[in-house]
Chains A and B, each alone.
Chain A
Amino acid sequence: MIVQVRDTPLPQAGKAVGIQTIGMTMRFGGFTALDNVSIDVPAGTFHALLGENGAGKSTLVKCIMGFYHQTSGSLSVDGREVSVQSPRDAATYGLGMVYQQFTLVPSLTGAENLVINRTHVPAIINWAKERKDLAAFMERMPFKIPLDRPVSELAAGEKQKLEIVKQLYLGRSFLILDEPTSVLTPAEADEMLGLVRGMTERGELTVLMISHKFHEVTKFTDAVTVLRRGKMAGSGLVKDLTTKDMAAMMIGDVKLAELDTRLPVPADARPILVVSDIKAPDRTGLKMIDIGNLTVHAGEIVGIAGISGNGQKELAEVLAGQRPPDAGSITVKGALYGATRQETRINNVRFIPEEPLNNACAPKMTVTENLAFRTFDVKKEGGDALWLDMKSMRKRAASLISDFKVKTASHSSPIASLSGGNVQRAVLARELTGDVDLLIVSNPCFGLDFSAVAEIRARIMKARNAGTAVLLLSEDLDELLEMSDRIMVMSDGKLVYETPALSADISVIGAHMAGHH
């Protein structure tokens, strides 16, 4: 088959294409990941694809993009049936995808990133001409991004826009966006989706967006398709559906975990964690984080808001003993705290870091072994254990797995083979069992689906009501507003603003996050 690659460097003003899948089915061995799914995304529409983790969303878009070859079913572009064998074929028909993670080369400028991604890059690039062409191209784009700066200097919102611009530059007129706003601030997300919406309204682009956020779906998209366990669970125009309808289609008749009622924090609650005058270098080594005073009392949740990269990670690392501070002190229950295993154990301190697979698990060790990280060196009757007790390790793992409903093929599967939500459940099972006096949590719900999020938040709230002091570092403002008693804003390595969550004003918090204080 001769394929004409539609990769003109500077396409004519885009003309949207529409796609249809008919009876798309994908089996992996005995497992059906996608079962007879037919969706219709007409040209120039903004279509949302909803579903929980494992519902088949990524399988569907991978079939459309040619990463997988469907077991049966077909794909049409603009009403003509096409055969997409590879992402390169997909590109021929103008189909492109923007991934959840950035795919730009950080050390190159925006312009360089765009040019090197063309299929045919000349051996010697005439940069003067390319820059002129790019300037003309950017004239027609609604997105304004500095193309002459290295990508590493761009903010997350700018990078995400550049990813979209890259696809448009490569001549794509149908885009799949995979959770495009998960790394953006609310303002950045609204701006980006507004611009994308504008392009679809002008008929320049068709978009299929995978999302978990209902407010994005209702505000920006035209129609929605919902998948559940590989099957179509429903579809329709967004204007005809309520959030409740969509949620019902997504999760079926499963009941979401509800948050316990928030018990009031007693006036005389004991301070559990006191951080004073901590100074530590940040990742770049060029700037310092400087925490004047941070106190978390028993039975309260203190939320730390801030745009990613303002020192939250470093603060969490200092508290976890991964980053020695230059000055200042941390006390837990009145005693100096250095995050050794002994101190952590005596004071019942637990950490749930972000991206638990990379930060709290040994990916190649088994689920059972990972569940034993906190207890393998203590005897049942107390005291340090020299010999591993594999039998009680297995028993304990089995009960944690069933208590926390961790879905795993087997107890001796490597933990890396679990889905994100189940890894997080396993880590919660390990860290939230037993007495917990201080819990330090970082972005616990990042990238998880609905029912996992509800369940994890319910567990944290339950711990709080039982008297645990919780420090919650999160980039998700909605999460902080829902969970916290007090919210503090971190900007440029400092805590710059504090407000009770009940009377919090989002716009004031947003302004402080953006550095206006």
Chain B
Amino acid sequence: MTIEANIPTLPPLSAQSGNLRPILEWLARRAEPVAISLGAILTGLALFSIFITVVGKSPIDLFKLMYTGGFGSWFSIQNSLSRAAPLLLTALCVALPARLGLVIIGGEGAVVLGGVAAAAAALPLTGSVSPIIVLVVMAIAGMIMGGIWIGMVGVLRHYRGVNETIASLLMAYIAIALMNHFIEGPLRDPASLNKPSTTPLPAEYMLGSIPGMDVNWGLVIGILACIVSWILIEATSFGFAARIAGGNVRAAQIQGLPVGRLIVGFTALAGSFAGLAGMVEVAAVQGSANASLAAGYGYTGILVAFLARHNPLAIIPVAILLGGIDASGGLIQRRMGLPDATVLVLQGTLFVVILFCETFYGRFKIFNPDLWKRTA
């Protein structure tokens, strides 16, 4: 309940609090998303503990194992970071359109097709040009493919009024079917017998690891993409226009802002990040496009973006946290005899709690300067 409508005037603040108040306000507004997100995660872990207790295991042991598996050693940290890399890019595919008020959940489709496009673009080039050029061409192909794929969702949304959430989700299934068509048909490497794949990338053409780490360059690409996205949204006039359109599309129209172009541009950019995730998966992990591209990164990205409240910088720590939870799945399976889907239960629980906690914004007096006491 808010009472601002009943506040007739703002009495002058006393000189002393007048100096402090802007700083306190700034702190309060910044602290709110951090505190609520942490609260949501803790609540999610508490609910998950109940679940674990019900299946007869000790939640304490489980959390210890999760820590060990995710962040307990240099090996597990590297493992977590590797898993976080694609999530950074797929989370951007959700977060950027979300700033325009669009809920896009079909990043998986752009990942898959971006990977196929990257693999296909590399085929005619390997052996004749230098690895760096091949990788750049692959990245561009993946980004263009992903951009077109999610950009189409934006076009359908703006020009035909098709719901973007449903369209992107259904198009993800089409994308997976298309991938299967290509890797089992025109692009299939005849040597891939059990698992249809495209012709593998020769080892010297693979995207290598960051020096001193067993983590591929995808992590750096992902972090850079998050930083660029943050600058785009927070510091440029395009980002501001997108925030206006996301805040109220009617207000944006009345200001003459090109809402259609913003929607198509932002969805295409979002899709190109997901397509880049597919390219990294092919160039750094799989070595070829195959069914392993559809590993659910697009869907985990949704969770990351919502947990980060669609703030590209917050995506970085959240993706690493989720990467860690993901990395601990194997250890939990081995040591506790729990199926590794257990971590999916945790992810699902966190997601529901996070969506629920959205309703708490502005409710806590300590974080909402508009409810603060005024000194008369």
Q: Give me the interface of A with B, judged by CB distance under 8 Å.
A: 28-31, 33, 52-56, 58-59, 229-230, 320-322, 339-345, 351, 353, 358-365, 369, 372-374, 376-377, 384-388, 407-410, 412-414, 417-420
Asked whether any CB of chain A lies closer than 8 Å to the CB of B160, the reply is no
Q: How far is the CA of A345 from the CA of B257 in the complex (A)?
A: 11
Residue from the list A320, A365, A409 in contact with B243, Cβ < 8 A: A365
Given A360-B251, A361-B251, A369-B240, 5 more A-B residue pairs with CB atoms under 8 Å apart are: A59-B6, A365-B247, A407-B10, A410-B369, A412-B29
Are B8 and A376 neighbours in the complex by a CB distance under 8 Å?
A: no
Interface residues of B in 321-376 (CB under 8 A from A): 362, 365, 369-376
Q: Which residues of B contact A417 (CB under 8 A)?
A: 2, 4, 370
Q: Which residues of B contact A320 (CB under 8 A)?
A: 253-254
Are A410 and B236 neighbours in the complex by a CB distance under 8 Å?
A: no
Minimum CB–CB distance from A8 to chain B (whole Å) comes to 32
Closest A residue by C-beta to B5: A419
Q: How far is the CA of A296 from the CA of B256 in the complex (A)?
A: 21
Q: If A365-B243, A365-B247 touch, does A418 touch B254 (CB 8 Å cutoff)?
A: no
Q: Which residues of A contact B250 (CB under 8 A)?
A: 322, 353, 358-360
Are B236 and A359 neighbours in the complex by a CB distance under 8 Å?
A: no
Asked whether any CB of chain A lies closer than 8 Å to the CB of B3, the reply is yes
Are A364 and B247 neighbours in the complex by a CB distance under 8 Å?
A: yes
Asked whether any CB of chain A lies closer than 8 Å to the CB of B292, the reply is no
Q: How far is the CA of A510 from the CA of B289 in the complex (A)?
A: 72
Which 9 residue pairs of A and B lie closest in terms of their CB atoms, listed nearest first? Answer: A362-B247, A341-B256, A30-B373, A54-B8, A377-B237, A344-B256, A417-B370, A362-B248, A28-B3
Asked whether any CB of chain A lies closer than 8 Å to the CB of B241, the reply is yes
Q: Which residues of B contact A369 (CB under 8 A)?
A: 240, 243
Closest A residue by C-beta to B11: A31
Q: Which residues of A contact B243 (CB under 8 A)?
A: 362, 365, 369
Q: Which residues of B contact A28 (CB under 8 A)?
A: 3, 6
Interface residues of B in 230-268 (CB under 8 A from A): 234-241, 243-244, 246-248, 250-251, 253-258
Q: Which residues of B contact A372 (CB under 8 A)?
A: 240
Q: Which residues of B contact A413 (CB under 8 A)?
A: 369-370
Closest A residue by C-beta to B248: A362
Closest B residue by C-beta to A409: B370
Residue from the list B3, B362, B369, B374 in contact with A33, Cβ < 8 A: B3
Q: How far is the CA of A377 from the CA of B374 in the complex (A)?
A: 36
Q: How far is the CA of A95 from the CA of B215 in the complex (A)?
A: 70
Q: Give me the interface of B with A, judged by CB distance under 8 Å.
A: 2-10, 21-22, 25-26, 29, 234-241, 243-244, 246-248, 250-251, 253-258, 362, 365, 369-376
Q: Is the interface of A mostly helix, strand, loop or mixed?
A: loop
Q: How far is the CA of A28 from the CA of B254 in the complex (A)?
A: 37
Are A31 and B374 neighbours in the complex by a CB distance under 8 Å?
A: yes
Q: If A362-B248, A365-B244, A387-B237 touch, does A373 touch B255 (CB 8 Å cutoff)?
A: yes
Q: Which residues of B contact A363 (CB under 8 A)?
A: 247-248
Closest B residue by C-beta to A345: B256
Q: How far is the CA of A360 from the CA of B252 in the complex (A)?
A: 8
Q: Which residues of B contact A418 (CB under 8 A)?
A: 4
Are B237 and A362 neighbours in the complex by a CB distance under 8 Å?
A: no
Residue from the list A29, A31, A53, A388 in contact with B240, Cβ < 8 A: A388
Q: Which residues of A contact B371 (CB under 8 A)?
A: 29
Are A377 and B254 neighbours in the complex by a CB distance under 8 Å?
A: no
Q: Which residues of A contact B362 (CB under 8 A)?
A: 414
Q: If A363-B248, A376-B237, A413-B369 touch, does A343 touch B6 (CB 8 Å cutoff)?
A: no
Are B251 and A373 neighbours in the complex by a CB distance under 8 Å?
A: yes
Q: How far is the CA of A373 from the CA of B375 in the complex (A)?
A: 32
Q: Which residues of A contact B29 (CB under 8 A)?
A: 412
The CB with the most chain B CB atoms within 10 A, among A30, A230, A373, A386, is that of A373
Closest A residue by C-beta to B361: A364
Q: How far is the CA of A418 from the CA of B9 in the complex (A)?
A: 11
Are B240 and A376 neighbours in the complex by a CB distance under 8 Å?
A: yes
Q: Which residues of A contact B374 (CB under 8 A)?
A: 30-31, 409
Minimum CB–CB distance from B265 to chain A (whole Å) comes to 14
Q: Which residues of A contact B21 (CB under 8 A)?
A: 410
Q: How far is the CA of A385 from the CA of B255 in the complex (A)?
A: 16
Minimum CB–CB distance from B369 to chain A (whole Å) comes to 6
Are A322 and B255 neighbours in the complex by a CB distance under 8 Å?
A: no
Minimum CB–CB distance from B38 to chain A (whole Å) comes to 22
Are B373 and A388 neighbours in the complex by a CB distance under 8 Å?
A: no
Are A31 and B22 neighbours in the complex by a CB distance under 8 Å?
A: no
Q: Which residues of B contact A321 (CB under 8 A)?
A: 253-254, 256
Are A353 and B254 neighbours in the complex by a CB distance under 8 Å?
A: yes
Are A351 and B237 neighbours in the complex by a CB distance under 8 Å?
A: no
Q: Which residues of A contact B241 (CB under 8 A)?
A: 376-377
Closest B residue by C-beta to A411: B22
Q: Which residues of A contact B257 (CB under 8 A)?
A: 341
Q: Which residues of A contact B4 (CB under 8 A)?
A: 409, 417-419
Minimum CB–CB distance from A490 to chain B (whole Å) comes to 20
Minimum CB–CB distance from A369 to chain B (whole Å) comes to 8
Q: Which residues of A contact B2 (CB under 8 A)?
A: 417
Task: List 28 A-B pairs, Cβ < 8 Å.
Answer: A29-B372, A31-B373, A53-B5, A54-B8, A321-B253, A321-B254, A351-B254, A353-B254, A358-B248, A359-B251, A361-B251, A362-B243, A362-B246, A362-B247, A362-B251, A363-B247, A365-B244, A373-B251, A374-B255, A387-B237, A388-B234, A388-B240, A407-B10, A412-B25, A412-B26, A417-B4, A417-B370, A419-B4
Q: How far is the CA of A388 from the CA of B246 in the complex (A)?
A: 18
Closest A residue by C-beta to B246: A362
Q: Which residues of A contact B365 (CB under 8 A)?
A: 29
Minimum CB–CB distance from A415 to chain B (whole Å) comes to 10
Are B373 and A29 neighbours in the complex by a CB distance under 8 Å?
A: yes
Q: How far is the CA of A364 from the CA of B251 in the complex (A)?
A: 13
Closest A residue by C-beta to B376: A30
Q: Which residues of B contact A230 (CB under 8 A)?
A: 8
Residue from the list B25, B237, B240, B373 in contact with A410, Cβ < 8 A: B25
The CB with the most chain B CB atoms within 10 A, among A339, A372, A417, is that of A417
Residue from the list B10, B238, B244, B376 in contact with A409, Cβ < 8 A: B10
Are B251 and A343 neighbours in the complex by a CB distance under 8 Å?
A: no
Minimum CB–CB distance from B320 to chain A (whole Å) comes to 28
Q: Which residues of A contact B372 (CB under 8 A)?
A: 29, 409
Q: How far is the CA of A420 from the CA of B6 in the complex (A)?
A: 11
Q: How far is the CA of A339 from the CA of B258 in the complex (A)?
A: 10
Q: If A387-B235, A409-B10, A409-B369 touch, does A377 touch B251 (CB 8 Å cutoff)?
A: no
Minimum CB–CB distance from B3 to chain A (whole Å) comes to 5
Are B6 and A58 neighbours in the complex by a CB distance under 8 Å?
A: yes
Minimum CB–CB distance from B161 to chain A (whole Å) comes to 13
Q: How far is the CA of A407 from the CA of B371 in the complex (A)?
A: 15
Minimum CB–CB distance from A408 to chain B (whole Å) comes to 8
Q: Which residues of B contact A359 (CB under 8 A)?
A: 248, 250-251, 254
Minimum CB–CB distance from A380 to chain B (whole Å) comes to 13
Are A339 and B244 neighbours in the complex by a CB distance under 8 Å?
A: no
Q: How far is the CA of A246 from the CA of B239 in the complex (A)?
A: 50
Minimum CB–CB distance from B120 to chain A (whole Å) comes to 35
The CB with the most chain A CB atoms within 10 A, among B235, B248, B254, B375, is that of B254
Q: How far is the CA of A417 from the CA of B4 in the complex (A)?
A: 6
Are B244 and A373 neighbours in the complex by a CB distance under 8 Å?
A: yes
Residue from the list A56, A340, A419 in contact with B256, Cβ < 8 A: A340
Minimum CB–CB distance from A355 to chain B (whole Å) comes to 10
